Chains A and B, each alone.
Chain A
């Protein structure tokens, strides 16, 4: 049986606006789930339901109010929604890909260059892109680079926050294919956040449906699509087939 890589117990995230009367918004409310190694788990829900906040809480970018988050992998990575702000605009692609290797301090300069070269090939970019700036790449190519960064940092767990929602459909398919390949090859665990059920259906083993900060349904993908229980899930599925 595979090990649990991420375990959340009754996690809540609040945003407080302090004034003469403190206004408290509950972005994430009593969420519990586990993700096992090698799983690809989808997290779906409408915008504003707390998906991104939850992912930020897992990575430690926002502080969670209550509950317990156990992340049993040393270096989680994230693939961001907006491929235009996720890569440093003043650095070349080669430099960006090399950075996690430099930070690890384990490799010589020669090793790093070789690894970057291999990685470019793996993520389906020609070698010449190492000498280009992010602004010279398309959205899809940038997401490829993001995946490359995650792999080069030796991550076993990726949070993909709407990685394809900014891309057009054909490019979406290519990026999803790459993610799937990478997931298999490295036995990667992926938390895939999306509002698009079609995309989730293509890539995920399991799907969690989130509404108003709560997870209302958590099932195997096939099961969820054939046999949705919660009325909200049914609504989502119906909207998507229309």
Chain B
């Protein structure tokens, strides 16, 4: 009898519920997430507003759903830009090495040595705030870490005999890089995708909290936290629910990363 893997079930359920909430944010929410209602400011959670309402009388549950979608979208696209750029740079520098590797990796070091939020602020101050600029800035900032990770994997893999064997078959460099070597980096790659996703969620939340991220009236989880801090004692639900959803999202993706690493690491 195979032992049931409860952590997988838990992860799937957790991510399923979050996906459902995010989809609700896109399709239908119980209240208009942006509709203000002066009569119901700071309503405590009850059957009408299960997460309560905020300082404009907006339904927190509806806003969490919508903000979850925004945060998720920002995080996924950010990670995609970072992973794609990082993979290409890391594969090329790791596989070919030489002077190009030195130059690009030193440039990488420069980017990586800035605190990421500071660098994001520089980008935003040039580009102006907004969802897509946040994605662009964070995506660029994420490239070095992926490049470094992919590069070190490629350096390790390129000396294995199977690569020599492929060279003897006269496979081209790009074929060797992306068809032969790349699949062997997926276990490391997948788990770093999950970690990167979490970092992106936190970075987006952090930037929105500082006011340089997603702009009102767009809802995002970080933005909601930032708006709620003035009312932390009068309306704690306004801060607690978005916070819990961020925690659950990060927990879910961390566990997903662990599972992927376990499943792929069995070589």
Q: Which of A82, A86, A100 contacts B169 (CB 8 A)?
A: A100
Q: Is the CB of A88 within 8 A of B267?
A: no
Interface size on A, residues (CB 8 A): 22
Q: Is the CB of B183 within 8 A of A82?
A: no
CB of B188 within 8 A of chain A? no
- List residues 78-97 of chain A with CB under 8 A from any CB of chain B: 78, 80, 82, 85-91
The closest CB in chain A to the CB of B184 belongs to A90
CB of A13 within 8 A of chain B? no
Given contacts A85-B160, A85-B162, A153 and B183 within 8 Å (CB-CB): no
| Cα distance A61–B168 in the bound complex, in angstroms | 10
| Cα distance A77–B266 in the bound complex, in angstroms | 29
Given contacts A91-B183, A135-B267, A86 and B165 within 8 Å (CB-CB): yes
Q: Is the CB of A59 within 8 A of B168?
A: yes
Q: Is the CB of A78 within 8 A of B267?
A: no
Q: A100 — which chain B residues lie within 8 A by C-beta?
A: 169
Q: Which of A75, A78, A89, A103 contacts B164 (CB 8 A)?
A: A78
Q: Is the CB of B170 within 8 A of A75?
A: yes
The closest CB in chain A to the CB of B171 belongs to A103
CB of A11 within 8 A of chain B? no
- Within the complex, the shortest CB–CB distance from A125 to chain B, in Å, comes to 18
Q: Which of B162, B170, B183 contacts A87 (CB 8 A)?
A: B162
Q: A135 — which chain B residues lie within 8 A by C-beta?
A: 266-267
The closest CB in chain A to the CB of B167 belongs to A61
CB of B186 within 8 A of chain A? yes
Contact count A vs B, C-beta below 8 Å: 55
Q: B50 — which chain A residues lie within 8 A by C-beta?
A: none
- Within the complex, the shortest CB–CB distance from A144 to chain B, in Å, comes to 14
| Cα distance A121–B161 in the bound complex, in angstroms | 25
CB of B55 within 8 A of chain A? no
Interface size on B, residues (CB 8 A): 18
Interface centre among B160, B175, B180, B186 (most CB of A within 10 A): B160
CB of B8 within 8 A of chain A? no
Q: Is the CB of B171 within 8 A of A99?
A: yes
- List residues 98-122 of chain A with CB under 8 A from any CB of chain B: 99-100, 103
What 0/1 pattern do residues 27 to 64 of A give for CB contact below 8 A with B?
00000000000000000000000000000000101000
List 22 A-B pairs, Cβ < 8 Å.
A75-B169, A76-B168, A78-B164, A78-B168, A80-B161, A80-B165, A85-B161, A86-B165, A87-B162, A87-B165, A88-B162, A88-B166, A88-B184, A89-B162, A89-B184, A89-B267, A99-B166, A99-B169, A135-B266, A135-B267, A146-B165, A149-B165
17 extra interface residue pairs, beta carbon distance < 8 Å, beyond A77-B168, A78-B164:
A61-B164, A61-B167, A75-B168, A75-B169, A77-B169, A78-B165, A85-B162, A86-B162, A87-B162, A88-B180, A89-B162, A89-B267, A90-B183, A90-B184, A135-B266, A146-B165, A153-B169
Residues of A within 8 A of B (CB): 59, 61, 75-78, 80, 82, 85-91, 99-100, 103, 135, 146, 149, 153
